[in-house]
Amino acid sequence: MALLPPVGSLSTSDRTLAHYDQHAQAFWNGTRDHDVSQNRDALLRHIAAPTPLRLLDFGCGPGRDLGAFRDLGHEVVGLDGAARFCQMARTYANCEVWQQDFLALDLPSDRFDGVFANAVLFHVPSVHLPGVLRALHDTLRPGGVLFASNPWGDNEEGWQGDRYGVYHSLDHWRAYVTAAGFAELDYYYRPAGQPCHRQPWLATVWRRPETLEEKY
């Protein structure tokens, strides 16, 4: 049996990214028609900056939401760690796409009005999550907004096949994001209109405060 990479190492993301590179087309075929407009709207309605907005689609995958933001007239950049996803997103959305490992981010400071992290941050090992969240905080302009949607759970963490995942409870997730300097704006479970046991996704919306006092 193959040894799994140590938790929190760059090889943790290597294994996860290799899975997505290998299954990129099947992932696109299975997700391109998913309606996550509720999530995109949750990000956009909380941003007070004038349009067009500067947005980062963090973990953009093959480019579904990247294209949707572009069609709304916003200036959107994609970011993903999987090489095939980056290639597919550039072709589909005709947008700038950065290939970066989430565990080794190099993001510009004070660049974006909003960061859209849909179904992606749960792949970050908890040991690395504070640094990733701080990088997203710092790449937002003061007053900018972070949207994050993740499958939730009772804080289980580990390997599901070749993909690493952390399944945060709401309170656990709140503790990480507030510690990174964000102020909470909203949360909800998806899909809407279903009982709790049929709502596997936790969506949260956060603001980078314009002043230190706004955090409290």
pLDDT tens string 162-207: 999 999 999 999 999 999 999 999 999 987 777 777 889 999 999 9
Overall fold of domain 36-215: Rossmann fold (3.40.50)
Report pLDDT digits (tens) over 99-134.
Answer: 999 999 999 999 999 999 999 999 999 999 999 999
DSSP reduced 3-state for 3: coil
Cα gap 13→30, rounded to integer Å = 22
Residue 87 confidence (pLDDT): 97
pLDDT confidence of residue 212: 56
Q: Do 129 and 121 meet the contact criterion of CB atoms below 8 Å apart? A: yes
The amino acid that residue 102 corresponds to is: F
Under DSSP, is residue 77 helix (H, G, I), strand (E, B) or coil? strand
How big is the CA angle at 144 (ends 200 and 153), to the nearest 5 degrees? 15
In sequence order, which residues have a C-beta less than 8 Å from that of residue 170 and are 6 or more positions away?
Answer: 152, 187, 202, 204
